[in-house]
């Protein structure tokens, strides 16, 4: 596995050069992409004005999910290519492995995953990130950040010094990465919090309340926005009753004002710590939600813009459910459409990247 280096320079010279241009987080507006992304896709992203792609690889993992957990060289070669394309077309890359040994779900982490019940999986992860960071340390700002975990779930009474201790894991990963890479931003995903007694699951924004932020001068806090889920995840697997937006659920009217209110803890943190950037690493709703979907995406983006947060729409040419270049009313029409309304909306905001 390798991140390509300039063959005309030694590794020592390349790293020394990168140190002089330590990556500094900027305001990002971009998209999530999958491991099947092509150079043409990245070129199109660059032309759209997007300045970030969050590269997620749950369907082509960097290592085997079962013992002996060998590394997947093809995945690392694809990362090399994506970084090359990102440099070529001006689109930075957040590296999001998304899935590791000990996790059961392809798209998210669950509180009952073996990962959170055995330190051996943490050790595997530590060695992986040390290896990846060591070989990518010489890259410049095209590596926007190392996204350590995707959507971890923890208990409200997260037990300390156990495999369930997310703060302990983040500190260990930070230490391991900084031993080999002092250049790039480390991205810490906020957890969703589950209360076993009340059976209530709180969203990622609330996770800031139990986070013990590692002491490091180049970090980013990541949240995801999928609320209310009856709207953002409706009719994905089968057709059912339509949920509009804005909408009223259990007596609560979900609109821009309430979406912002639901993020008050993270907003307060952001205001208190303006030097720690916030990334809305994923947000979306099914493309066939029409103008309601356009309104929802606009509200999420406007909240992020108001608080100077970076954001990455989910997702670009990765799955027809979310694809912004497709029909916004007909779920059965998955053809690419020039100037599709959702893509035009995103490009309007991408223009801010050039200011």
Q: The domain spanning residue 243 has which CATH number?
A: 3.20.20.80
Within-domain flag for 88 = yes
pTM of the model: 0.93
What is the predicted pLDDT for the residue at 152? 98
Within-domain flag for 8 = no
Within-domain flag for 18 = no
Within-domain flag for 91 = yes
Among 17-21, 111-115, 293-297, 302-306, the range scoring the smallest mean pLDDT is 17-21
**pLDDT tens track for 95-104:** 999 999 999 9
- pLDDT over 70, % of the chain: 94
Cα–Cα distance for residue pair 214/108, rounded to 1 Å: 23
Strand partners, 186: 146, 219
Residue 11: what are its φ and ψ, rounded to 5°?
-60, -40
What is the predicted pLDDT for the residue at 21? 56
Strand partners, 311: 29, 280
Among 3-7, 18-22, 104-108, 281-285, the range scoring the smallest mean pLDDT is 3-7
User: Which of 206, 182, 181 shows the shortest CA–CA distance to 192?
Assistant: 206
Cα–Cα distance for residue pair 54/97, rounded to 1 Å: 10
Q: Predicted confidence band at 47 (pLDDT cuts at 50, 70, 90)? A: very high
Cα–Cα distance for residue pair 12/70, rounded to 1 Å: 28
Instruction: Indicate the angle between helix axes 166-178 and 119-136, nearest 10 degrees.
Output: 30
Q: Predicted confidence band at 324 (pLDDT cuts at 50, 70, 90)? A: very high
Tokens of 282: 């994923």
Tell me how many domains the chain contains.
Answer: 1
Q: Do 177 and 136 form a contact (C-beta atoms < 8 A)? A: no
Within-domain flag for 257 = yes
Q: Predicted confidence band at 339 (pLDDT cuts at 50, 70, 90)? A: very high
Q: At a CB cut-off of 8 Å and minimum separation 6, what does 125 contact?
A: 100, 169, 173
**pLDDT tens track for 118-149:** 999 999 999 999 999 998 988 889 999 999 99
Within-domain flag for 318 = yes
Within-domain flag for 13 = no
- State CA 134 to chain mean position distance: 21
What is the predicted pLDDT for the residue at 180? 95
**What is the residue range of 249's domain?**
27-354
Within-domain flag for 7 = no
């Amino acid at each position: 596995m390798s991140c390509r280096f300039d063959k005309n320079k030694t590794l020592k010279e390349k790293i020394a050069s990168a140190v002089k241009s330590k990556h500094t987080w900027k305001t990002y507006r971009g998209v999530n992409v999958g491991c099947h992304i092509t150079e043409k896709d990245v070129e199109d992203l660059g032309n759209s004005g997007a300045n970030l792609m969050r590269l997620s690889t749950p369907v082509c993992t960097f290592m085997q999910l079962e013992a002996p957990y060998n590394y997947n060289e093809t995945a690392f070669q694809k990362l090399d290519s994506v970084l090359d394309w990102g440099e070529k077309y001006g689109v930075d890359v957040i590296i999001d492995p998304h899935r590791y040994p000990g996790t059961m779900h392809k798209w998210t982490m669950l509180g009952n995953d073996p990962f959170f019940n055995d330190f051996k999986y943490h050790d595997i992860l530590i060695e992986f990130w040390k290896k990846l960071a060591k070989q990518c340390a010489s890259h410049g700002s095209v590596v926007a950040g190392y996204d350590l975990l995707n959507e971890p779930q923890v208990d409200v009474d997260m037990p300390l010094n156990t495999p369930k201790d997310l703060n302990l894991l983040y500190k260990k990963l930070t230490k391991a990465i900084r031993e080999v890479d002092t250049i790039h931003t480390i991205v810490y995903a906020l957890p969703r919090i589950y209360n076993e007694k009340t059976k209530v699951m709180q969203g990622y924004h609330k996770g800031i309340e139990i986070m013990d932020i590692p002491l490091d001068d180049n970090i980013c806090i990541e949240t995801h926005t999928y609320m209310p889920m009856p709207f953002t995840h409706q009719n994905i697997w089968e057709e059912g009753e339509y949920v509009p937006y804005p909408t009223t659920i259990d007596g609560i009217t979900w609109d821009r004002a309430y979406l912002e209110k639901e993020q008050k803890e993270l907003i307060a943190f952001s205001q208190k710590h303006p030097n720690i950037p916030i990334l809305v690493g994923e947000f979306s709703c099914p493309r066939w939600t029409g103008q309601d979907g356009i309104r929802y995406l606009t509200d999420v983006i406007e909240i992020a813009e108001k608080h100077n947060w970076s954001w990455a729409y989910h997702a670009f040419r990765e799955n027809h459910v979310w694809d912004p270049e497709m029909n916004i009313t007909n779920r059965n029409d998955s053809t690419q459409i020039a100037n599709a309304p959702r893509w035009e909306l995103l490009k309007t905001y991408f223009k801010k990247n050039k200011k």
